[in-house]
């Protein structure tokens, strides 16, 4: 039972929905480009991961590599104070770079998949920026690949070993932190507690056995002045060599001593349980489609995704291809069914207005760092998920994505909009304000007030707006004058493209419209 393919009309509306769910803040032209492809070609393009270049040194605290070069394979200073300052510089560079990648995203799903996996594994910052960088690159580059392999790679990744104490889990003193979350959150998921210590899919006995199986790994080279990367090392005398027996949920499987590779054998056993596919597909569904699992979703959609996942031995890409070409995905009832996370909010603002930051290296990184803080203030600190379960908005019933919005965070959203469209935000001597002229010129018919508002609503509001909302926005654009006045004003600007007398009012009216749009409840969904 795989998913029923979508065979309705393929228009800008469907293209916009697909793009809103798979990239951050699609532009007017990107929607057009996707609408001009076939649905299959469009989805295939979105499922092809592009490249990004590594983060660059820009801050004075970086004393090992010159500004403008990357530090991801560099040593740290031996002096403890310089070491600390260097790390701070690298963390700033790393966090800014993460935002830059979203701002300069290629037209593929990789940034959303990185977000998905960052939420899935919930790994917080590791204390070595190089380790966190390579961990995040693992998620970004392998996010559409084989999830069984990804779980294996993540298990012994230095960032994860440090995060859930795998690096101190030894035969002498097992530490259950990772073994519990591996089952509960990363693979099979838990269900009702049906007996003491029995969570329907695994038991406390499996948690204890898992800690023994996973024992023996340590992390070496953290912020080292002699090693260019943090490394995971297997130390055999720290490993529990006994034969471990799993619970009846895993057919009482025995895991014999496998040394450095024993953890992988264990993960293979876990992935033999089809509940793993159900757990993962449910998470993918909730992230990309809707939080509510209706009867239809549970009986048709999730099982269809599971079938594809199992048929492809846990590859993610085929599952998402089926989902993004399915009839269900394009159901009008699901448009706008998710409240924008802070990242979607910030980058809807920058990306859909075609505002790619390009001043100079240090200023760009500082601006991106501020974007990072903006999202952080709204509740999403990207390199430090709220907990190992990720952000509550992705799992906590019944509110789910509504948890992004409350009296504190909505005020941040409004303030950010006012700052970027009306007042400008001073950042290290540069005033960041969104220039709406290039954005306007790329719309379908900039000289028509009605067309401008229709295009803007298509970009930022997931469902058509009613006539009175449309006319309210037109009135902001025209300053309550007849619409032909806008046409005249725009044409005056075209004839005098460098004369502020004609350029500034046009730019300003569009800024006011966008500021209003970002303060409408309707634009908080995608």
| Cβ atoms 125, 95 nearer than 8 A | no
Is residue 17 close enough to count as binding another protein by CB under 8 A?
A: no
Write the binding mask 491 to 520 for another protein: x where contact by CB under 8 A, - elsewhere: -------------------------x--xx
Write the binding mask 187 to 226 for another protein: x where contact by CB under 8 A, - elsewhere: ---x-xx--x--x----x--xx------------------
In the block, which residue shows the tokens 């393009």?
45
Task: Please list, in sequence order, all residues whose beta carbon lies within 8 angstroms of the beta carbon of residue 42, skipping any fewer than 6 positions away.
Answer: 15, 18, 34
Is residue 168 close enough to count as binding another protein by CB under 8 A?
A: yes
Site for another protein in 50-89 (CB under 8 A): none
**Contact with another protein (CB under 8 A): which of 226, 295, 468, 501?**
468
Please tell me the count of residues contacting another protein according to CB under 8 A. 64
d(CA 441, CA 447): 9
Among positive and negative, which fits the CA dihedral 94, 98, 103, 105?
positive
Kindly tell me which of 397 and 498 has the beta carbon lying closer to another protein. 397
> What SS3 string covers 359-421?
CCHHHHHHHHHHHHHHHHHCCCCCCCCCCCCCCHHHCCCCCHHHHHCCHHHHHHHHHHHHHHH
Is residue 43 close enough to count as binding another protein by CB under 8 A?
A: no
Min separation Cβ 197 and another protein, Å: 8
Is residue 295 close enough to count as binding another protein by CB under 8 A?
A: no
| Cβ atoms 164, 158 nearer than 8 A | no
Q: Is 272 helix (H, G, I), strand (E, B) or coil?
A: coil
Kindly tell me which of 200 and 441 has the beta carbon lying closer to another protein. 200
Min separation Cβ 314 and another protein, Å: 24
Min separation Cβ 408 and another protein, Å: 4
Largest Cα–Cα separation, the chain: 82
Min separation Cβ 134 and another protein, Å: 22
Which range touches another protein (CB under 8 A), out of 147-155, 256-264, 466-474, 481-489? 466-474
In the block, which residue shows the tokens 């499996």?
206
Q: Is 326 helix (H, G, I), strand (E, B) or coil?
A: strand
Is residue 326 close enough to count as binding another protein by CB under 8 A?
A: no
Kindly tell me which of 140 and 516 has the beta carbon lying closer to another protein. 516
Q: Is 195 helix (H, G, I), strand (E, B) or coil?
A: strand
**Contact with another protein (CB under 8 A): which of 22, 93, 169, 325?**
169
Chain centre distance of CA 239:
35
| Cβ atoms 301, 328 nearer than 8 A | yes
Query: For residues 279, 284, 286 and 288, what is the CA-based torsion angle, rounded to 10 degrees?
Result: -170
**Contact with another protein (CB under 8 A): which of 69, 165, 358, 479?**
165
Site for another protein in 370-409 (CB under 8 A): 377-379, 387-389, 392, 395-399, 402-403, 405-409
Write the binding mask 327 to 366 for another protein: x where contact by CB under 8 A, - elsewhere: ------xxxxx-x---------------------------
Kindly tell me which of 407 and 495 has the beta carbon lying closer to another protein. 407
Kindly tell me which of 51 and 468 has the beta carbon lying closer to another protein. 468
Is residue 290 close enough to count as binding another protein by CB under 8 A?
A: yes
Query: DSSP secondary-structure letter at 26?
Result: -
Is residue 170 close enough to count as binding another protein by CB under 8 A?
A: yes
Kindly tell me which of 211 and 452 has the beta carbon lying closer to another protein. 211
Is residue 521 close enough to count as binding another protein by CB under 8 A?
A: yes
Q: Is 280 helix (H, G, I), strand (E, B) or coil?
A: helix
b (16+ CB within 10 A) / e for 292-316: ebeeebeebbbbbbbbbbbeeebbb
Helices (H), 419-499: 436-441, 449-460, 467-478, 483-495
The pairing of strands 217-220 and 254-255 is: unpaired
Residues at the site binding another protein, with contacts judged by CB under 8 A: 164-165, 168-170, 172-177, 180, 184-185, 190, 192-193, 196, 199, 204, 207-208, 290, 292, 333-337, 339, 377-379, 387-389, 392, 395-399, 402-403, 405-411, 414, 462-463, 466, 468-469, 516, 519-522, 524-525
């Amino acid at each position: 039972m795989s998913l029923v393919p979508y065979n309705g009309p393929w228009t800008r509306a469907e293209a916009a929905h697909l793009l809103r769910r798979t990239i951050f803040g699609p532009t007017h032209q990107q929607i057009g480009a996707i609408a001009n492809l076939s649905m299959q070609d469009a989805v295939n393009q979105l499922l092809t991961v592009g490249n990004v270049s590594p983060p660059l040194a820009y801050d004075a605290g970086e004393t090992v590599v010159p500004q403008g070069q990357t530090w991801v394979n560099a040593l740290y200073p031996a002096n403890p104070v310089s070491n600390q300052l260097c790390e701070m510089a690298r963390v700033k560079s790393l966090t800014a770079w993460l935002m830059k990648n979203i701002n300069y995203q290629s037209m593929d799903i990789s940034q959303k998949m990185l977000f998905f996996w960052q939420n899935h594994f919930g790994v917080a910052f590791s204390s070595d920026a190089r380790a966190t960088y390579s961990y995040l690159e693992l998620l970004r580059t392998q996010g559409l690949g084989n999830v069984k392999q990804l779980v294996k790679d993540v298990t012994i990744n230095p960032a994860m070993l440090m995060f859930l104490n795998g690096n101190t889990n030894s035969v002498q003193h097992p530490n259950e932190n990772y073994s519990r979350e591996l089952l509960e959150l990363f693979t099979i998921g838990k269900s009702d507690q049906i007996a003491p210590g029995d969570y329907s899919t695994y038991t406390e006995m499996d948690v204890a056995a898992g800690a023994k199986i996973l024992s023996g790994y340590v992390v070496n080279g953290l912020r080292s002045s002699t090693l260019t990367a943090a490394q995971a090392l297997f130390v055999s005398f720290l490993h529990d060599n006994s034969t471990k027996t799993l619970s009846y949920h895993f057919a009482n499987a025995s895991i014999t001593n496998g040394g450095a590779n024993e953890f992988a054998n264990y993960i293979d056993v876990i992935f033999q349980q089809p509940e793993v596919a159900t757990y993962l597909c449910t998470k993918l569904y909730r992230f990309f489609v809707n939080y509510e699992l209706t009867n239809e979703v549970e009986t048709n959609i999730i099982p269809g995704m599971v079938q594809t996942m199992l048929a492809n031995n846990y590859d993610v890409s085929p599952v998402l291809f089926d989902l993004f070409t399915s009839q269900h995905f394009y159901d009008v009832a699901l448009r706008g069914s998710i409240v924008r996370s802070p990242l979607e909010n910030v980058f809807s603002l920058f990306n859909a207005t075609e505002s790619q930051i390009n001043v100079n290296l240090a200023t760009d990184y500082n601006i991106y760092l501020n974007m990072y803080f903006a999202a952080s203030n709204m509740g999403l600190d990207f390199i430090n998920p709220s907990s190992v379960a990720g952000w509550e908005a992705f799992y906590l019933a019944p509110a789910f994505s509504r948890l992004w919005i409350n009296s504190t965070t909505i005020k941040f959203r409004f303030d950010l909009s006012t700052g970027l469209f009306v007042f400008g935000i001073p950042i290290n001597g540069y005033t960041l304000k969104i220039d709406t002229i290039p954005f306007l010129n790329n719309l379908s018919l900039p000289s028509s007030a009605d067309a401008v508002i229709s295009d803007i609503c298509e970009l930022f509001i997931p469902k058509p707006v009613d006539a009175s909302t449309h006319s309210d926005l037109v009135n902001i654009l025209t300053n309550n004058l007849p619409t032909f006045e806008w046409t005249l004003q725009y044409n005056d600007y075209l004839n005098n493209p460098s004369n502020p007398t004609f350029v500034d009012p046009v730019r300003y009216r569009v800024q006011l419209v966008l500021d209003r749009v970002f303060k409408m409840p309707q634009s908080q969904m995608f």
